[in-house]
Amino acid sequence: MKLKEVFSISGKPGLFVIVSGNKMPFIVEQVDETKKRIPVFAKDRIVSLSDISIYTEEDDVPLGIVMEAIREKHAGAEVDEKAVCANANTLKEFMMTAYPSYDKDRVHNGDIKKLVKWYNILIKAGMETFIDKEEEVTAEA
C-alpha cells in the first residue's frame, strides 16, 4: 500500500482505500481492522494523503515526509495516542520531537491529533514506508 492509495473523506472517521472505482459511487474500504465498505458519492470531499502537506517554517512539507520522520523516531512502532493527545502541551512536544521545523502558528492541535491517528492506522495496516521514491528525490533536492 502506498500513501497515494490511501484517502481521507471529509466527515467520515478513519482512512480508506478505493475498492471499486469504475462508476459513481466509488466503493471504499476502511484501512482499519473493520474493513467496512461504504459508497462515496461526487458530493463527498475525498483527498489522497499524498496530496496533504504540513506547514513548516520554511515551506510546506508532504505528509509522507512528516510521517516517515515519526516512524523513524518511534522505530516503526505505534504512537501512544492517549499520552500524546492528553493536552495541548503534549501535542506540541510530540511535534517538536517528530518534526521540529513545523509551523507552530498554522499547525493546530486538531491537525496533530489527526496526524497521530492516521499514523497509527497506517502502522497497524502494515505500512512500512510513507515516502515514495519520487518524494525522496524531491525531499533531497
In whole angstroms, what is the distance from residue 106 CA to residue 86 CA? 20
In whole angstroms, what is the distance from residue 117 CA to residue 85 CA? 10
Domains of the chain with CATH codes? 3-49 (2.30.30.730), 52-125 (1.10.10.1650)
Q: What is the pLDDT, as a whole number, of residue 26?
A: 86
Q: pLDDT tens, 11-24?
A: 898 999 999 877 77
In whole angstroms, what is the distance from residue 81 CA to residue 91 CA? 10
Average of per-residue pLDDT across 105-124: 94
Predicted confidence (pLDDT) at residue 65 exceeds the cutoff of 80: yes
Whether omega before 25 lies within 30 degrees of 0, making that bond cis, reads yes
pTM of the model: 0.87
Predicted confidence (pLDDT) at residue 135 exceeds the cutoff of 60: no
